[in-house]
Amino acid sequence: MAEEKSQASSSKMLTLKASDGVLFEVELNIAKEMKTVQAYIDDCEDIETIPIPNVLGKHLAIVIEYIKKTNEEYDAEFEKQWNMDDLQLLLLAANYLNISGLQECLCKAIAKRIENKSPEYVRKVFNIENDHSPEEEAKLRKEYKWAFEGVDKD
Amino acid sequence: MKKIETSSKISLLNLPESTLDVILELLSPIELINMSKVCTYLRGKCRSDHLWDNHMKHKWGRVFGHFAFKEWQWHVTIITKEEGSVLNQQINILNGSLGSFSGSWPMLCVGSYLEECHNFKSLLLANHFMMALYLSLESGKFWFPAQLYRGLYVHDALVSYNSITDTFRARTRSWNGRIVGNDIHWDKLRFSPVETSSCVRHVSDCFQELKPGDHIEIQWRGNTQAPYDWWYAVIGHLDSCNENENYCLCQNSETLVVEFKQYPQRSSMRKAKLTRHTEDSAGNYGGIRKLHSQEEIQKWNELLDHQRYI
């Protein structure tokens, strides 16, 4: 639903500190969407600044914005703005912070970018090294073509 | 978790395995095959049974059932046995693998047939069973048992998929394997609900409890040399019964009335009288399967509405 998360009855603010030292002041109910942060708060009630050692400031900013604005329309447009490296880093952040909605959105985005792409493209864009031997490579190239004869190759 | 440096490039493989799994589950079969070529780690992940089982259920669940799966397991056993073993001799000159047999000569039925089975050997030896199964179906190489809707009866057949037209071809299950249909659409097929092949009389377990109003499928064949088909029918009342629910004793009678609603009331084809407890294997009627699922009954009624004689 398209709602800006409104201030809870307790207007407590929290500070999140990204890995590069950038500070973000967020409302408690926004921070609680990050289950990792929630667990932190549950453990130490009086805490005011929570360190997020695995996430850069630039990505934390994006994540916080996502939590504030998420809805169907926003999600559909959200993933288009980011390049592949950022998408993967955002997914790592969402995974660490344990935000299920954002994780799902980003997984779908990454899957979509793999659609109809060749193995070479995937390697380049995801920074994966080809560790097949030349013989294996040659064998794999031919494999299973016979199973999908009716489909377009990319 | 390791700290990520701004300068190092991030790789898909840095993601936690559970997250990678979520992404892979979103991929289509072709994309999974492409991904499996990227590196050795992804090759293992993209061939896992879990991923291909999802695709099996999603695409093939309606027409590929439990008994077809048993046939597949039979082929797996044959193909993965050592060269020269007795079982391996099942693979005939054309490199296909014959499935199970049922019935008795000359009324023999083949359970399934897998063409060019050597294609699947390396996948099967690596335990990627579901991927091999999916590919065998998609490529049309696996002729698996299914039932073909024809008006108000279903015919047991072996079907093979054509991915280009998204339709099926069908052969009879009798040993001659004659083609009995081409360009068959998905909605004309269903998976076989019983293991009994068309060459064998089904052993009914419901004779005792059948009463008027029950929906059934009953085997019927034109002559003893023909395979059985399954016809939809409803259990009817005896002629002597006034069809009053409270006084109907039809269930206790030795005579079972099977009513075919596609025929008009006065037609001689409308009702058949069978003996409840005699298994008359020489006659045209065979075993009975009682229908329990509303879905099945509804499907037959829809077909009846299309075909009703006026």
- Residues in B 128-147 with any Cβ partner in A closer than 8 A: 135, 138-139
Q: Do B14 and A92 touch (CB under 8 A)?
A: yes
Strands B142-150 and B189-190: antiparallel
Cβ contacts of B6 on chain A, cutoff 8 Å:
20, 56
Average pLDDT, chain A: 84
CA distance B174 to B103: 9
| Of A91, A104, A147, Cβ closest to residue B135 | A147
Query: Exposed e or buried b for every residue in A71-87, given b needs 16+ CB within 10 A?
Result: eeeebeebbeebebeeb
The whole-number pLDDT of residue A149 equals 60
B20-38 average pLDDT score: 93
pLDDT band at B259 (very low <50, low <70, confident <90, very high): very high
Cβ contacts of A95 on chain B, cutoff 8 Å:
15-16, 19
pLDDT band at A8 (very low <50, low <70, confident <90, very high): very low
The whole-number pLDDT of residue B214 equals 94
Q: What is the pLDDT of residues A42-65, one digit of tens each?
A: 888 777 888 998 899 999 999 999
**Is pLDDT of B308 > 80?**
no
Average pLDDT, chain B: 87
Q: What is the pLDDT of residues A79-118, one digit of tens each?
A: 888 988 899 999 999 999 999 899 999 999 999 988 888 8
**Is pLDDT of B131 > 80?**
yes
Q: Which residue has the higher pLDDT, B51 or B4?
A: B51
Percent of chain B with pLDDT over 70: 91
Interface contacts (A, B; CB < 8 Å): 108
Strands A49-51 and A13-17: parallel
The whole-number pLDDT of residue B180 equals 92
The whole-number pLDDT of residue A152 equals 36
For B291, the 3-state DSSP assignment is coil
Percent of chain B with pLDDT over 90: 53
Residue in chain A nearest B120 by alpha carbon: A144
Chain A contact for B1, CB < 8 A? yes
Cβ contacts of B14 on chain A, cutoff 8 Å:
88, 92
Output the CA torsion B68→B69→B73→B76 (10° steps).
80
**Is pLDDT of B177 > 70?**
yes
Q: What is the CA radius of gyration of chain A?
A: 20
Tokens of B292: 């329990």
The answer to whether ipTM exceeds 0.90 is no
pTM score: 0.86
Give the H or E element holding residue B132.
helix B129-138
CA distance B207 to B256: 9
